[in-house]
Structures are given as C-alpha cells and as structure tokens.
Amino acid sequence: MSVQDDKKRDFIPFCRPTIGDDEIAEVVDCLKSGWITTGPKTARFEQDFKDAFGPEQEAIAVNSATAGLHLSLLSLDLQQGDEVITTSITWPSTVNNIVICGARPVFADVDKDTLQIDVEDVARKMTSRTRAVIPVHFAGAPVDLDPLRQMCEARGVGVIEDAAHAAGTAYQGRFIGSDSQVAVFSFHPIKNMTTGEGGMILCNNREQAARMRRLRFHGISRDAWKRYSKGGSPQYEVIEPGFKYNMLDMQAALGIHQLRRLSEFNRVRAKLAQDYMSHLEDVEGVMPVMPPSYPHEHAWHLFVVRLELERLRVDRDEFIAQLQEEGVGVGLHFPAVHLQKFYRKQYGFTRGQLPNSEWNSDRLFSLPLYPGLSKVDQARVVETLEKLLKRNKR
C-alpha cells in the first residue's frame, strides 16, 4: 500500500450519508417503473414528510433548499427597496435569494454562544420597508421563534424559516415546520437526511403553497405526472413564468426511507454530540457552540466549535489546514456572508457592524458528525484536536 493510500484510509471525513438497502431498493424500483421524474414517489414523500412534521401543512418537494427559499421569497412579491432581515452566519443562498428577488438584505447579529439570530437585534433592524425575516435554525437547534413571530405578526412582516439544518428539530415541543408560515428543509448529502440533492417546503397557506407549487414547475397549471399518466390530459396553461425546481422520483425514493430512519439518525447524532461536549469541556483553546436555553429538541446537524485565538499562535485557517493534514475532515459553518466580496462591494458592509457574527466567523469550524462515525474515529478527532491545540499554544 502506498503512503497516499494509507493516508486516504486514515482520513476521517467531515460527513458521510448513511444509505441502506431500503433506499437502494426503492431507487431501483423507481428506475424500473418507467417513471423517474416527479410523480407518485414524490407525492408519497411529500405526504410522509408532512405527516411527520406538519399534518396541517402543505408540503412542496423541490430540488434543493436554495430553490425552496427562492420560491418562498418570490411568493411574497417583493418590490425594489423592500428589506429582508436575516443572519450573516448562514450558507450564502439564504442571502443570495433576497438579492435575486430584488430586495435588500439586512443583517441582524447572532447570539455569541448559540449563533442563533438575536431577536432583539432583529427588532432594532426593522424599518417600514421590512417585508420578511429569514431566521436560520443554526446547526439543528431552533431559533427563539415565539418572540420573533409575535414581533413579525404585529408588523405584518413575513417569516420564512431556513430549516435546512432542522429536520427533526423541535421548539417548545413543536416540530419546526409544523406551525410555520413557511419553513424550508434541505436534503443535501451532508444533512441529517438526504435525497442526493433536494428540499421540502412546509407552508400554512394554501394559496401561497399553490403558487410555489406552480412556480416549481415553469409556472404551468399541471405537472408532467398529471399530464402523462392514465386519465391525465396533456394540455397545460402558463399562469406565470416559473422555474425547473421539481424533485425527481429517484430522489424522493431515497427520501421516503431516509425519513423513516431520521429519528434514529438524530438519536445517534445527539449521542455523538454529547460525547464531544463532555470530552471538550475541560480542553483549553476550544469552545463548542452552546445549545439554546429555551425548551427544544436539537437535531445536531452540526457540531461547531470556536478557537480561542488569544491562546494560539495560528489563525483558524492554519489550524484547520493542520487538522486536515492529520486526517481529520472539517467544515466551515459559516464564514460571515456580509463580509463576502459581493456583499462588501454592493452594500458597503464592513467589519464592526455585527460583532458577534464576526467574532465567531473568524474562529469557528465544524467537527465530523454523522451516524456512521465510529467511537474510535471520534476519539481520534478529539485527540488530534488536543494535540494541535498544544502544538500551537502561544
């Protein structure tokens, strides 16, 4: 075995989907069925998902959460000059979609310890132009929804929840999505459940949901399954120009079985997270992101830590390069969006505007966390982390 092979074998990936025989059999069934794009399996997956997380809600399967966020914002008919408040500690598509829909992104800071959007700062950032808020349920823990919703309702401002990390998350005993105006979930391969790529919108408004469903597929009145299946008719009518954001049955085939396994996946994630917490409690130089203090069920999508840079001779980027070199894969969730090139240039965002977001953005990274992570590998992650913290100590 070459040195390179040996290194490869030893590398602990940051994430890895858990795909079983049931998922594979369902995909094969789909491939053999003669219908592989949006159809009966997507309809079943939508039904199963809403049964699990929002029986009263409308469910719309899409080909990514990014597409779901785009449709959600489009359904608000934003006008030039409208403002949408969100967090800077998120994946760029949360914010990019605001810009793409012609509105102005406004950032509220996050809580320094939980990295959830600071609801009081959202209140400070509200103006007469605010049309919506997009809170992100960061890392699988929920945002403090009750005060946020109360404030938004009082002002007639929409709430679109970025629930990309929140499949199985609960807030005050209620699943995320179960009572949301709009919540958008992601099934990207690193997420708690996957469809390869994919997303799901849960929405409490029938008309808005019907519009998003239409915009998901060219803005026409009927999807392909209804036009080509037995008893269907091939005619269609364009109601408004739309997109090609539909989920394939091949993807839904995976989702149907991933959903059934989700609570077990999340149970294992929670155990791994608890183990990280207890191992890292007394380790100098690193601070895990904390779960919020209000009642919740954490889906543990990510285990994010922050480096105490004041104790170290290297910055975060150098530190994670060393971790990778030692065979530990890590993620970055997330470098602050307001400091990305486009946002600095277009809107003049600078350092100093969001102190907690910036402090965290410089220090954070995510450790491997997935149901297939063995105890041995998790122990190696912790040992390597400790070794490098000692090696780089100031």
Q: Pairing mode, if any, of strands 174-175 and 170-171?
A: antiparallel
CB of 210 to ligand PLP, least distance (A): 22
Element (H, E) at 280: helix 249-280
Nearest Cα residue to 297 out of 188, 201, 176, 203: 176
Amino acid at 215: L
- With binding defined as CB under 6 A, does residue 354 bind ligand PLP? no
The reply to whether 191 belongs to the active site is yes
Identity of the residue, 285 or 291, whose beta carbon is nearer to ligand PLP in the bound complex: 291
d(CA 144, CA 165): 15
Best CA proximity match to 136, nearest among 164, 157, 112, 109: 164
Show the 3-state SS of 70-134. HHHHHCCCCCCCCEEEEECCCCHHHHHHHHHCCCEEEEECECCCCCCECHHHHHHHCCCCEEEEE
Which residue stretch of 64-72, 172-180, 221-229, 239-247 sits at the interface with ligand PLP (rule: CB under 6 A)? 64-72
Among residue numbers 110 through 169, which ones bind ligand PLP (CB under 6 A)?
136, 162, 164-165
Over the window 272 to 291, marking each residue x when it contacts ligand PLP by CB under 6 A and - when it does not, the resulting string is --------------------
Q: How many residues bind ligand PLP (CB under 6 A)?
A: 14
User: Which of 42, 57, 72, 93 forms a contact with ligand PLP (CB under 6 A)?
Assistant: 93
Smaller CB separation from ligand PLP, 199 or 368: 199
Answer yes or no whether residue 90 interacts with ligand PLP by CB under 6 A.
Answer: yes
Q: Which range, of 91-99, 215-223, 232-240, 262-270, touches ligand PLP by CB under 6 A?
A: 91-99
Candidate residues 42, 57, 64, 192; the one interacting with ligand PLP per rule CB under 6 A: 64
Among 199, 285, 331, 368, binds ligand PLP (CB under 6 A): 199
Q: Of the listed 8, 125, 191, 226, which one is catalytic?
A: 191
Return the SS3 of 394.
coil
| Phi-psi sector, 81: left (phi>0), alpha (psi -120 to 50), beta | left
The answer to whether residues 134 and 106 touch, using CB atoms and an 8 Å cutoff, is no
Residue 136 or residue 388: which is nearer to ligand PLP going by CB?
136
DSSP string, 199-222: EEEEES-HHHHHHHHHHHBTTBSS
By CB under 6 A, residue 91 contacts ligand PLP: yes
- For 195-223, b/e burial (b = at least 16 CB within 10 A) is bbbbbbbbbbeeebbebbbbbbbbebebb
Q: Is 66 in the site for ligand PLP (CB under 6 A)?
A: yes
360 near ligand PLP, judged by CB under 6 A: no
CB 333, min distance to ligand PLP, A: 7
Q: Which residues on neighbouring strands pair with residue 105, listed in sequence order? A: 84
- Judged by CB, which is closer to ligand PLP: 64, or 181? 64
Cα angle value 181/187/190 (rounded, 5°): 130
- ω into 334 cis (within 30 of 0): yes
Question: Residue 319 has what DSSP assignment?
Answer: H
Smallest distance, Å, CB 365 to ligand PLP? 15
Answer for which of 186, 251, 357, 366 binds ligand PLP (CB under 6 A) is 186
Q: Which stretch binds ligand PLP (CB under 6 A): 58-66, 242-250, 343-351, 375-383?
A: 58-66
Which of 322/356 has CB closer to ligand PLP?
356
CB of 104 to ligand PLP, least distance (A): 19
Specify the DSSP class assigned to residue 142.
P
Residues catalogued as catalytic: 191
Binding region for ligand PLP (CB under 6 A): 64-66, 90-91, 93-94, 136, 162, 164-165, 186, 188, 199
